Amino acid sequence: MPAGPPCPSEIPTYYPLTLHIIAGISIPINFIGFYLVWFQSPKMLGYKYCLCYLQFASFLTEMHMSFICPGYYFFPLTGGFNTGGQFISSHLSITIYTFIFSFEVPSTLLCFIYRHNATKNINRGYSSKLYLEKLFLILTHLFPFSSAFCMFQSKLTPQQRMDYVNNNFPQCLEWLKFEAFEVYDYHPNRWLVALGAVVFATIFVAYSYAMTLGVHTMIILQKFRKSMSRQTYQMHKTALFSLIMQIVIPGVLLVAPLSFCMFVIIMEEVGLQELATGSMFFVASHSMCSSAVMILSNPRYRTVLLEKTLKALGLSSVTIAARSGVEPSQNSFAPTTTSVVSVARRASQLTIREF
């Protein structure tokens, strides 16, 4: 197909293939995360449901982006081509994607609210403003519907699509023949501006409030540290640290690529089209990263995962001792890997009971 930057003559085969590979790696990692949260989090009460909610929202977003309907973008042209299933239109696909993606905001806020409310058992003199928390939860749960509505309304008419491409990127006119190709322009359709305003305002307010709750939770833990057992303090601290890392590290995989794409669009850097589109690989892996961070930052999850892995591999204490060149005593066998893992697991269970 005759075309020119930013529109390629054809979709590179490596792009959907890479996204599918990311999805193939992400699925087992996410399932391990779901298993650990659901079955290996005793006495965590409702917090495990908050974590599952967050992971499920990011997992669905990632699956839609990398497996179901992966899109190849033609930045700085605000549009792209749906390389996935053609059972729905590209516009409906991006609308569904916006709807699912937006649930990561209320799910994140809910986790921080739960962790903050858990401190009420420590600081009994503190009165939590439940009405404020409920207000933020209601507003953030309206966000997916408002953002999806704005996205759906931003669809251009056939004539508007033709005018936009012809006036700005005439080399891409051939792509208009394909139903899987979609473009957007905020000049004739202001719903795209409304979408940007809703997204920016909601994310800024929600994450500012979540950060405030996180800082206040840490202040309470430090203030009442001496009145808590070491296990209880460590459990609260670990849970909060794990949640922060679960948001910050995957957040970099979202903010950096999306900011770069925005830069390419605003500055109209046609030569950076393929690099900007390739940055979507990082966005598509944020759920996998979130699950991995959650597992690695939680001592109990690490212990259970190590125990299950050793058991699956059939590694026994004798095998490990033989590989290390140590001859075990018949009377007093040295602590084996399996026994150490079991002791650590029992210790974490005792800690959680206090939590």
Print burial letters for 225-262: b (CB count within 10 Å at least 16), e (below 16). eeebeebbbebbebbbebbbbbbeebbebbeebeebbe
CATH 1.20.1070.10 applies to domain 14-297:
yes
Residue 108 pLDDT: 93
Residue 231 pLDDT: 79
Q: Please give the chain's pLDDT, 355 residues, in tens.
A: 545 677 888 889 999 999 999 999 999 999 999 999 988 876 667 888 999 999 999 999 999 999 888 889 999 998 899 988 778 889 999 999 999 999 999 999 999 998 888 877 666 655 567 788 899 999 999 999 999 999 999 999 999 999 999 998 888 888 998 889 999 998 898 999 999 999 999 999 999 999 999 898 888 888 888 777 787 788 888 888 888 888 888 888 888 999 999 999 888 888 888 899 999 999 999 999 999 998 988 888 888 899 888 888 887 544 444 444 443 333 433 444 444 445 445 544 444 443 5
**Which H or E run contains 246?**
helix 230-267
Please tell me the distance from the alpha carbon of residue 210 to that of residue 343, in angstroms, as a whole number: 36
Please tell me the distance from the alpha carbon of residue 185 to that of residue 349, in angstroms, as a whole number: 55
Tell me whether strands 181-183 and 71-73 are parallel, antiparallel or unpaired. unpaired
Residue 194 pLDDT: 94
| Single-letter code of the amino acid located at 319 | T
Residue 128 pLDDT: 60
Please tell me the distance from the alpha carbon of residue 174 to that of residue 111, in angstroms, as a whole number: 47
Residue 132 pLDDT: 86
Q: Determine if the peptide bond prior to 335 is cis (ω within 30°).
A: no
| Helix, strand, coil % over all residues of the chain, rounded to 5 | 75, 5, 25
> Long-range contacts: 217-221, Cβ < 8 Å, 24+?
217/112, 217/115, 217/116, 217/118, 217/119, 220/119, 220/122, 220/123, 220/126, 221/119, 221/122
What residue has token string 């794990």?
242
Alpha carbon 346 to its chain's center: 31
**Which H or E run contains 29?**
helix 14-39
Residue extents of the structural domains in the chain: 14-297, 299-355
SS3 327: coil
